[in-house]
Each structure stands twice: as C-alpha cells, then as structure tokens.
Structure 1
Amino acid sequence: MNASSQKHDVFQAIADPTRRSLIRLLVDQEMPVTAISGHYPISRTAVSKHLRVLADAGLVKERKVGRETRYRLEPEPLLELKRWLAYYERYWDNKLTALQRYVEEDGTSGDN
C-alpha cells in the first residue's frame, strides 16, 4: 500500500450516522472544526476523529487558516458509492414493479 492510498474506504466512512451527518453539514460550506462541533452533542475530539475518517476516505479536505483548521466536502469519492448502488437499482425496480402489479391485481380482484 503506497502513501497516497486511502486508509478508509467510502463505504466504511459513510457507515456511521454521525459521519453521514457531517457530510450533509459540509455540502454547501467550508467550516472550522469549532463550528462543526457546535452541531453535535459529542466532544470536539470525537468530531475530529470522525472528520479524520472522512478525510482518510477522501470525502473531506482540510486546510489551515491561521490557527484554525477548516473542512470542506470533496464529493468525488461518493461516485464510487453511486456506481455500486446503480448496479442494484434494477433489482429494486423489478421488486417495485412486481409489488405494483400485485397491489393493482388485488384491488381489481373484486370486493367481497
């Protein structure tokens, strides 16, 4: 594994609800860790650990502005997740179509 390899993959990173929430929080804006921490009932250290996992997966970038570290979303790694989910959409579509047919047939089979 080379130095540029990610320590966490996108799937591991988004597995935690707090990290998914952090991604949503950073969608439209870059924020310092102090501001981010104010949105959560956990310690700043815990928020920083979650941000580190997201950064290791390439989902957030950090930059220093004076003494402050700011974070912003890097959405490109989410494309891997999108591609993976797209493969399974056909199964969901088939199941939803079958359910729709079942419901429609049940509704037209006559009432008592």
Structure 2
Amino acid sequence: MPEVAPVEIFGALADESRWQILVRLGTEPASASTLATELPISRQAIAKHLKILTDAGLVTATRAGREIRYEAAGSELSRLARHLDTVARGWDRRLAGIKKAAERD
C-alpha cells in the first residue's frame, strides 16, 4: 500500500465518529457489527467510516471466517506521531527564539 499523505490522514481523523472508532480499535480488533453494538453509530455509517480509515492506512482489515475484523494500524499511527513530533520540535525552536529575542529587548 502506498504511503498516505499526513493531510489525508488528518482528514480521516477530522470526524468525531471515525476518531471514536479508531480509539476503540486501538484496544482490540473488532468487526463492524461489534462496533455498531458498542458505539452510537449505525452499522451502515460504521462501514463507511471504516472504509475511510482503511483508505487512510489507519485501520487494517483481516478476514476471519465470514467476518472481517478491523484493527488500528500501529505502524501508520507511529509514522503520524513522528510527523507531529517534527512539527512540535520546530514550533518549540521558534518559541525559544521569540523568547530569547523578547528577553534581549
């Protein structure tokens, strides 16, 4: 699967329902039917959200008999965390520079 751009990943995470699904799948794999019983989201909406999360590389799907089990994709989440860490370090450097300049004046 090709690497998904961070902006696409953030787009997938911008929906509260998808965020709830991803957090739930971070604890253990589940089928769409199981998610529908645990979350206040219809089965049809869960399926649409799972497709978006899967396309963004945040969720993987594995067939287990007649059921498809979904789980959070740890490697993609780790890659996203590294991107965020890079942004945070840059922001911290800029703030330190502003503080240093302010203290000089």
TM-score of the two chains, using structure 1 as the length reference: 0.68
Q: Output the aligned Cα RMSD.
A: 2.4
Q: Structure 1 residue runs of 4+, over 6 Å off?
A: none
The runs of 5 or more residues in structure 1 that have no matched partner are 99-112
Identical positions, percent: 32
Query: Does residue 23 of the first structure (1) align with residue 18 of the second (2)?
Result: no
Letter in structure 2 aligned against 1:86: D
The runs of 5 or more residues in structure 2 that have no matched partner are 100-105
More helix by percentage: 2
Alignment of 1:18-97 (within 5 A): 18-90=17-89, 91-92=91-92, 94=95
Provide the C-alpha distance between the structure 2 equivalents of 1:16 and 1:80, rounded to a whole number of angstroms.
20
CA-CA distance at 1:7 after TM superposition = 7.6
For the 8 Å contact 2:58–2:77, the answer to whether it is kept is yes
TM-score of the two chains, using structure 2 as the length reference: 0.71
| Higher mean displacement: 30-39 or 43-52 | 30-39
For the 8 Å contact 1:32–1:68, the answer to whether it is kept is yes
How many residue pairs get matched?
Answer: 93
For the 8 Å contact 1:51–1:60, the answer to whether it is kept is yes
CA-CA distance at 1:67 after TM superposition = 1.9
